[in-house]
Structure formats: C-alpha cells, structure tokens
Amino acid sequence: MKKIVVTGAAGQIAYSLLFRIANGDIFGFQEPISLSLCDLPGSERAMEGVAMELADCAFPLLREVTIHTDPFSGFKGVDLALLVGAKPRSPGMERADLLNDNGKIFVEQGRALNEVASKEVRVLVIGNPCNTNCLIAMHYAPKIPRENFHALMRLDQNRATALLATQAKKLVSEVKNVIIWGNHSATQVPDYSHAHMQGKRVTDFIKDEKWLKGEFIELIQKRGAAILNARGKSSAASAANAIIDAIRALYTPTLPGEWFTTAVITDHNAYGIEKNLVFGFPCRSKGEGDWEIVEGLEWNSFIKEKIEKTTGELLEERKCIEQLLKRK
Ligand code: LMR
C-alpha cells in the first residue's frame, strides 16, 4: 500500500488531484492507497466534505482517508508527499513576494518530513515559488536524501508540448523531449531545440523562428499568470494533471532516447549550474522513483543567455531566504 499526503487538501488543486490518485492514476490499478489530507486549522469541515466524496466514489483501491491540520501527524509514514498548500498568489502579485510567507510553511513541513515520513519518501513541491520552497523543505529534512525532493516543472513541459503540437498541427503524442530549464516562473526556459516531432526537428515543421524564439517562450513563461488573470484563481486541474504526470514519470522507466523535466537539486549537475539550487533539468528514470540528469545536451547562445537569467533569479530567491538556510 502507498501512503500519500496531500497538503492544501481543502483547496482547488487537491480537489482535482485526490480523486485521480484514489482511482490509481499514479501507482496503477493494483496498488492500494492510503490518503492523508492535510491543511490549515479551520479547514477541517472542508476536508471532511472531500473525504465524504472520496468515500462516495467507492474506489476499490482506496483503503484509508485521514484528516490532519498538523504535518507531524499528517506526514506520518508517508511514501509520497505532494506539498500543494501554500499562500496563493493574487492577481498582480509577484511570486517572489510569496517567499517570506510561504518559506515558513516549508520549514515546518521539512521538519515534519524529517521526523515522521518514510525515509524513502519522495517529495514534490507545488506551492509557489516551488523551486525555492523545495530548497527550504529539503534543508529542514536532513535525514532524507536531497535527491528525493522535486519541484513541479511538468506543468510547464505539458504547456510547451501542447502549444508546439497546436502550432505544428501535430498530435501532442508526437511531440517529445521539450525541456524546461530553471525556475518555475516567468524566467523559465522552454527549450524546443532538442525536441522532436515524428522523429524530426521542431523547426522542420514550425518554420517561423521568430515565433519560436519570441511568442512561444513568452506564452509558456506567462501561462500561469494568464490563467490567474482569466479565472481570478491559479491553474488547478492542469496543475493536478501535471502532478500525476510528474510522479508517474519517476515510477515508469523512461523510454530510450526520451526524457522529462523535473526540478531537482543542482549538487551533481554537469551543466555548471551553481550547487544548492532546485533547477529544472531533462531527466530520466529507471522506474523506481529515481532520476538522473540527461547530460551533454548543448545550449545555443540564445538558450544559454536565458539559462543565466533564470539561474540568477533562483540565486536571488535563495538570497531572500538565506537566514532560513542558516538555521536547522
Ligand atoms: C501556474 O504555473 O499556473 C502556477 O504556478 C500558478 C502561479 O501562481 O504561477
């Protein structure tokens, strides 16, 4: 049985996520599931309502649902922690503004993971700014390998894949190996230069290089903000879907020659990105929840410049929370 905690369990993303997890969408249709719902004090009734609906689905795999407002009880024995909950960004607010408020949440959650989660736990941080929140959580969980922590970049990968497919009039399933380097923010680097469609380069189908280097990249970088402006709320269903895809990618052997993007610790990367950042890289998995960075992909000068910018932003974010990283 897999025990999974979802924080922000009373929120919008969780409402799109929990039912799919309980259905078996992450670990397949043989693996029983125990769900731990965790959210802030005051959310108990809303979580009870979600638990009632989960029960009413009569999911064959769902063995247990528990409700928590304290991560030290909610994270007990978990194999997978999906850290969705964070103060949401409101229209016009920059994600860097969130660092102070949300940093504190991830200190406490890191400590809870350290004390009570399975030592094999895999952690995916979704709450923004997710890369730096992830860095905080891993700092406060020294008993858990830093390699077990991820920040969600799959939503960006999915957005870029879908947009390229639409532009080239191809099927989404025909577009492979789009990479998102760096931070899940407006500086992220959607990179089509190693992607292919039906085995050919993207530029064989999309001839308009001005669009690829301009509008394409900007649309992906600003997609989260565009959805926020349109809905008055952050993306939810597409974020939940990306969480499912991100974890499945870690637990499914990656096909030869393919890769997926996840944000992981930079401590052992061969691309020269400074250590102790959580950075989006192309990765592969052998299927056991592990990953390795796909090394040796070349950056043209255009991509290199953008990667420097997103790295610079991550360094700035880290500077904002350096006091938190000094403490234990
Ligand atoms: C997204 O990319 O849709 C989310 O991360 C929303 C946000 O606040 O940027």
Q: For residue range 126-138, list pLDDT tens digits in order.
A: 999 999 999 999 9
Mean pLDDT across 80-106: 82
Same domain, 273 and 130: no
pLDDT of residue 327: 80
Task: Confirm if 154 and 249 have CB atoms less than 8 A apart.
Answer: yes
Q: Compute the chain's Rg from CA coordinates.
A: 19
In this predicted structure, the answer to whether residue 236 has a pLDDT above a threshold of 70 is yes
Residues 280 and 304 in one domain: yes
Domain boundary among 151, 186, 211: 151
Domain end marker among 100, 117, 151: 151
Question: Which secondary structure element, helix H or strand E, spans residue 105, and what is its range?
Answer: helix 99-116
Q: Residue 163 is part of which domain span?
A: 154-317
Helices (H), 143-270: 154-168, 202-205, 209-211, 217-221, 223-231, 237-250
CB of 325 within 6 A of ligand 1: the answer is no
pLDDT at residue 89 is higher than 80: no
Task: Please name the helix (run of DSSP H) or strand (run of DSSP E) that holds residue 283, with its range, or none.
Answer: strand 278-284
- Which of the four pLDDT bands, split at 50, 70 and 90, describes residue 101? confident
Query: Is 127 within the bounds of a domain?
Result: yes
Tell the residue nearest (CA) to atom 7 of ligand 1: 224
pLDDT band at 328 (very low <50, low <70, confident <90, very high): confident
User: How large is the average pLDDT for residues 194-220?
Assistant: 97
Is residue 277 a contact partner of residue 131, using CB atoms and an 8 Å limit?
Answer: yes
Residues 163 and 130 in one domain: no
Are 186 and 243 part of one and the same domain? yes
Whether residues 120 and 101 fall in one domain: yes
- Pair 211, 102 in one domain: no
Domain count, the chain: 2
Residue 305 lies in a domain: yes
In this structure, are residues 264 and 279 in contact, taking their beta carbons and an 8 Å threshold?
yes
Distance CA 267, CA 149 (A): 12
Asked whether residue 324 is domain-assigned, the answer is no
Ligand 1: centre distance to CA 221 (Å): 10
**Domain harbouring 184, CATH code:** 3.90.110.10
Report pLDDT for 52.
98
Helix (H, G, I), strand (E, B) or coil at 86: coil
Candidate from 48-62, 82-96, 222-236 with smallest mean pLDDT: 82-96
Q: What is the pLDDT of residue 278?
A: 98
Q: Is the pLDDT of residue 208 over 80?
A: yes
Mean pLDDT of the chain: 96
323 occurs within a structural domain: no
Beta sheet of 200-201, edge-to-edge order = 175-176, 196-197, 200-201
Q: Following CA atoms 56, 82, 14, 9 in sequence, which dihedral angle do they give, to the nearest 10 degrees? A: 80
pLDDT band at 90, cuts 50/70/90? low
The percent of residues above 90 in pLDDT, for the chain, comes to 92
Q: pLDDT tens digit string along 237-246?
A: 999 999 999 9
Verify that 160 and 21 share a domain, yes or no: no
Report if residue 85 sits inside a domain.
Answer: yes
pLDDT band at residue 87, thresholds of 50, 70 and 90?
Answer: confident
Stretch 143-156: mean pLDDT, rounded? Answer: 98
Least confident of 53-62, 97-106, 152-161: 97-106
In short, whether 128's Cβ falls inside 6 Å of ligand 1 is yes
Same domain, 58 and 134: yes
Q: Are residues 137 and 200 in the same domain?
A: no
Nearest-angstrom CA–CA distance, 118 and 299: 38
- Regarding whether 106 and 167 lie in a shared domain, the answer is no
Per the confidence metrics, is the pTM higher than 0.85?
A: yes
Asked whether the predicted pLDDT for residue 203 surpasses 90, the reply is yes
- Evaluate: CB of 306 within 6 angstroms of ligand 1: no
pLDDT digits (tens, 9 = 90+) for 292-312: 999 999 999 999 999 999 999
The answer to whether the CB of 234 is under 6 A from ligand 1 is yes
Q: What is the pLDDT of residue 98?
A: 78
Q: Can you name the residues that pair with 281 across neighbouring β-strands?
A: 262
Q: Quick check: is 322 in a domain?
A: no
Distance CA 1, CA 88 (A): 32
Mean pLDDT on 95-112 = 87
**235 CB under 6 A from ligand 1?**
yes
Is 196 domain-assigned?
A: yes
Which pLDDT band holds residue 263 (cuts at 50, 70, 90)?
very high
Assess whether 159 and 237 both reside in one domain. Answer: yes
What tokens were used for 247?
């974890």
Q: Is residue 325 part of a domain?
A: no
The DSSP code for 106 is H
Q: Which residues are catalytically annotated? A: 184
User: What is the structure's pLDDT at 99?
Assistant: 86
Domain boundary among 98, 120, 151: 151
Q: How far is CA 147 from CA 122, 256, 267, 268, in A?
A: 9, 22, 9, 10
Q: Is residue 114 domain-shared with residue 195, that is, in the same domain?
A: no
Give the residue, out of 188, 228, 229, with the most ligand 1 atoms within 8 A of its beta carbon, to mutate for a pocket test.
228
Confidence of residue 94 (pLDDT cuts 50, 70, 90): low
Question: Which CATH number do you get for residue 121?
Answer: 3.40.50.720
Taking residues 250-276, what's their average pLDDT?
Answer: 97
